[in-house]
Amino acid sequence: MPEVAGISLANARLMLRNAGFDPERVAVRYQEAYRPADEVTGQVPAPGTLVAVDEPVELVVSRRSLLHALPQVFQKADRDGGHFLREFLWIFDHLSADLQRKLDRVHLYFDPREAPPEFLDWLASWVALTLDQAWPEERKRKLIRKAIEIYEWRGTVRGLKLFLSIFTGVEPRVFENRFPYKGFRIGQVRIGLDSIVLPQVNLSHCFIVEVPARYTDITNENILKVHDIIRMEKPVHSMYVLTFAAAPKSDQLQAFVIGMGRVGGTGVIAGERSGPPQISE
């Protein structure tokens, strides 16, 4: 049993939870004492006792009674030294104390860094942001903090890189006025390797997004989410290509081209590049 006397109730509950005790079995009993409010002044079982983690725990916590909010005539003790009204009012203290603590800390609910995890979705709605439930908590908090900045730079390279860096954890590179496919040119391109059939391409409205990671290290679901982010942040009239930067392997097979590849060496009869770009409109 850890010693929690002398610390705040919130820290005591955290220590007990880390020690394996069930938070639902930790009871609190308030008592007036010349100590700061919500400080643990006693505990059962005693500190250092060897107990099972499912055994109930009682914490005695210092708190100012509601009796002091009543007129002086009601604060007098009984003849035998007891005080029925004070003991009766502890019932309402136990009912309202947790709510009062939340009200005392209500300002933290509006801070993405301090708000409870279950509050993040509602906080994101304040800035017209929809969070993906599969995102890690830290990523959600960072995105809410940066939401206004993202809106300020929406439709720009800076805004796109900021959003993608928050989601992927790495900062992508954006190449403007570039497109990886040159179109069909006799003697210069090969169908299926460096040329595909696409609508008319205007380089001034094209860009390439390169994520510094292997495409095999990212799930298909996350690749689709990256596409969704790019479509949401890019100018509507522009086209883009999503690529993944991967270190080339020395033994990577290349497609067979007359005069460039050789059978049994660096070429094969039919091949594809490792890690093809993910194309979007």
Domain co-membership, 98 together with 203 = no
Whether residue 54 is contained in a domain is answered as yes
pTM: 0.50
Q: Tell me what pLDDT residue 264 has.
A: 39
Q: Tell me what pLDDT residue 277 has.
A: 45
Domain co-membership, 98 together with 171 = no
pLDDT tens string for the chain (281 positions)? Answer: 889 988 988 888 888 888 888 888 888 888 888 888 888 999 988 888 888 888 889 999 888 888 877 888 787 877 776 788 888 888 888 787 778 777 878 888 888 888 888 888 888 888 887 777 777 888 889 888 888 888 888 888 888 888 888 888 888 889 988 887 665 555 566 666 666 666 677 788 889 898 888 777 777 888 888 888 888 888 888 888 888 876 444 444 444 444 444 443 333 323 233 344 444 44
Pairing of strands 57-62, 254-255: unpaired
Q: Tell me what pLDDT residue 190 has.
A: 65
Residue 113: CB atoms within 10 A of its CB come to 10
Residue 195 in contact with residue 182, Cβ under 8 Å? yes
Q: Tell me what pLDDT residue 254 has.
A: 46
The helix (H) or strand (E) run that includes residue 12 is: helix 9-18
Domain co-membership, 170 together with 236 = yes
Span 210-239, pLDDT tens digits: 888 877 777 788 888 888 888 888 888 888
Domain co-membership, 98 together with 21 = yes
Domain co-membership, 225 together with 102 = no
DSSP reduced 3-state for 9: helix
Measured distance CA(101)–CA(178) in Å, rounded: 56
Burial class (CB in 10 A: 0-12, 13-18, 19+), 197: exposed
Domain boundary among the residues 108, 134, 158 is at 108
Q: Residue 221 is part of which domain span?
A: 146-279
Number of domains observed in the structure of the chain: 2
Q: Tell me what pLDDT residue 191 has.
A: 63
